[in-house]
């Protein structure tokens, strides 16, 4: 068994992620117009230091709360 053909496939599946862009963010002047709430990376947590993990968790929560309040205030 030659397993070299599996290496690129496994590397790609380990490092992939999805970045979701939103038109409404772009139109409101936010650049890049990335929605961090639904964008994901498989590398993120494993590649981050402890302090970055701690800080990013709080930022992610604050962004989610802001978006929720912004959506609610539209009513």
Q: Which residues are catalytic?
A: 42
Q: Which two tokens mark 67? A: 């978006």
d(CA 67, CA 62): 9
Nearest to 35 by CA among 55, 64, 56: 64
């Amino acid at each position: 068994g030659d397993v070299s053909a599996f290496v690129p496939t496994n590397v790609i599946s380990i490092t992939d992620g999805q970045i979701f862009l939103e038109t409404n963010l772009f139109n409101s002047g936010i650049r890049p117009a990335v929605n961090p709430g639904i964008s994901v990376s498989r590398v993120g947590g494993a590649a981050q230091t402890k302090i970055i993990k701690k800080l990013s968790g709080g930022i992610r929560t604050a962004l989610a709360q802001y978006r929720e309040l912004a959506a609610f205030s539209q009513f």
